[in-house]
Structure 1
Amino acid sequence: MDGVYVPLITPFAADGSPAWDVLEKLAFDLLDAGASGLVALGTTAEPAALSDAERRGVLDVVARVCRERGARLLVGANTPAQLAEVPPDAAAALTLVPPFQRPGEDGVVAHFAALAAAAPVPLVVYHVPYRTGQQLSAAALRRLAAIDGVIGIKYATGAVDADAVALLADPPPGFTVLCGDDVFLSPMLALGAAGGILASAHLETAAFVALADAWRAGDAARARPLGRRLARLSAAAFAQPNPTVIKAALHAAGQIPTPDVRLPLLPAVDGLAPHLYGSLLE
């Protein structure tokens, strides 16, 4: 499960419908640029704003591309009903820590144990406490790692914190730690993370892959300046609600037909897209 995974946007046509051919081409382009795999129906895809038919269409397109390229597919799926729709050949489901309820660490562990027992594919825990409201200690993360069928974590706490350091200092066997905060990718890789799930990698996929490869090879002299540059890119990409800036940059580059997003998101305010569009031309 190591490497760079890109959580795909859902591009929209001028009439507001998903641009299926554009989604397919974008998926192929990202894999051809070196991404290890793709995430379908992650947060970046705006899944809550898609109809059931649109969600199935996104999953069908991305799954087919991954099969054709022999790439790993992760699917955003948080409920038993959603998990039942994940293709059995997917590498994993990306499953959010229960949001809003704040069930405590014991409740989170019990929740994932129940989901993993019934899921058709392994689970990657999506830990993003500034969205869910639920903190998890390093000890709780190790309990999750011990569940049969839980194979990794998207770690997105908004910091390179003490729990990340403790987890990566002695990683559980067979448990993959993927950075989920794009701006912290380089330090997380330096600590031993296996890769990342990175919306910013829509823009400079090959550079993000090169950064992961450099840290894996122990080439700090190459990794540090590249990591600093990509951290600045990621900070710009997330300066407004994701994926608005990324869509604006891809549209400016002619890669998607519109920069449109669906409510409750609003299109990015002008100013950042030209800088990010320039990064696509480097």
Structure 2
Amino acid sequence: MLYVPVITPFGADGAVAWPALEALAHDLLTGGATGLVALGTTAEPASLTPGERRDVLDLLAAVCREHQAPLIVGANDPDQLRVLADRPAVRAALSLVPPFLRPGEEGVIAHLQDLAARSPVPLIVYHVPYRTAQPLTAAALHRLAATPAITGIKFAPGVIDPEVVAFLADPPADFTVLAGDDVLLSPLLALGAHGGILASAHLATSSYAALITAWQAGDLAVARPLGHRLAALSAALFAEPNPTVIKAVLHAEGRIPTPDVRLPLLPASTRTLERALGVREFATT
């Protein structure tokens, strides 16, 4: 399964480019994505107004309903979770391990279990320790997986270390592990991940979907070389802060009206864009 955390395109006037967002969402679902993620970090949600966040959610929910595709929504507190009730397209909330505070494993578990108890939809934990500064052991991840209302994890460990191997070597039953490190997608799939939530899949969506299918089918002749090529593409797309390079490439391809991002992000450099376009051509041939 492949979920794409959708960017928020902006027009020349700085406003959200709604037609481009709708067209992009349709393209991703027809291109091979299982579903979409609304208001993930790739969408720059902190820079959006409350009204913009509401309208992004409504638009992506409508597109997912049309395609009968699931929608995951970034939501990190009870107020953000509350608005997800009575929205049939929304299948889960993507909730980040608390960043910066470093509350320890017990604090993380208590916080996410409390959120899950309050949420109208199941939770997918977003674990990205190199951004949150809060590592979790395999034992802690298994405790979260045992919580009935927590049904999956966006797993972005940053490295393949013994805790990662231990967690994936003993996968929790009825629990979905979605790779969140785009560059590490192929090795995480090889270790047992079920799919991914991948910003890189704005580009070459069908290729990322094919890579997931190949690993699940045990087709190593396809999975290994394709995984190497797509890892190079993901590395190029994350050479500057996400989603700046992805937006630059989408704009260069005529899919969004500008490459603009909102502060504190700055647009990707021309050099990084040119490299990404070259790697994209190599990765998809």
For the aligned pair, the TM-score class normalised by the smaller chain equals: over 0.9
2:215 paired residue number: 215
Please give the per-residue CA displacement for 1:9-50, whole angstroms capped at 9, x wherever unaligned. Answer: 000011000001110000000000110110000000000000
Question: What is the 5 A alignment of 1:1-282?
Answer: 3-87=1-85, 88-89=87-88, 90-277=90-277, 279=280
SS in 2 for 1:14: coil
Counterparts of 2:104 and 2:164, CA distance in 1: 19
Counterparts of 1:215 and 1:95, CA distance in 2: 27
SS in 2 for 1:63: helix
TM-score, normalization by structure 1: 0.97
Counterparts of 1:38 and 1:277, CA distance in 2: 24
Please give the per-residue CA displacement for 1:104-161, whole angstroms capped at 9, x wherever unaligned. Answer: 1111111111111110000000001111111100000000001110001111121122
Shift of 1:276: 3.3
Note if contact 1:253-1:277 (Cα within 8 Å) is conserved in structure 2.
no
Question: Unmatched 5+ residue regions in structure 2?
Answer: none
Counterparts of 2:163 and 2:201, CA distance in 1: 25
Give the letter for the 2:143 counterpart. R
Aligned positions, number: 280
Counterparts of 1:105 and 1:230, CA distance in 2: 33
Give the letter for the 2:248 counterpart. A
Over aligned residue pairs, what C-alpha RMSD do you find?
1.2
Shift of 1:164: 1.8
Counterparts of 1:237 and 1:85, CA distance in 2: 32
Counterparts of 2:95 and 2:127, CA distance in 1: 9
Counterparts of 2:273 and 2:64, CA distance in 1: 29
Counterparts of 1:275 and 1:206, CA distance in 2: 21
Question: Unmatched 5+ residue regions in structure 1?
Answer: none
Note if contact 1:250-1:277 (Cα within 8 Å) is conserved in structure 2.
no
Counterparts of 1:205 and 1:277, CA distance in 2: 15
Shift of 1:269: 0.8
SS in 2 for 1:13: coil
Shift of 1:203: 0.7
Counterparts of 1:67 and 1:198, CA distance in 2: 21
Note if contact 1:156-1:180 (Cα within 8 Å) is conserved in structure 2.
yes
Shift of 1:228: 0.1
SS in 2 for 1:152: strand
Q: Is the deviation greater in 186-195 or in 269-278?
A: 269-278
Q: Is the deviation greater in 267-276 or in 118-127?
A: 267-276
Shift of 1:163: 1.7
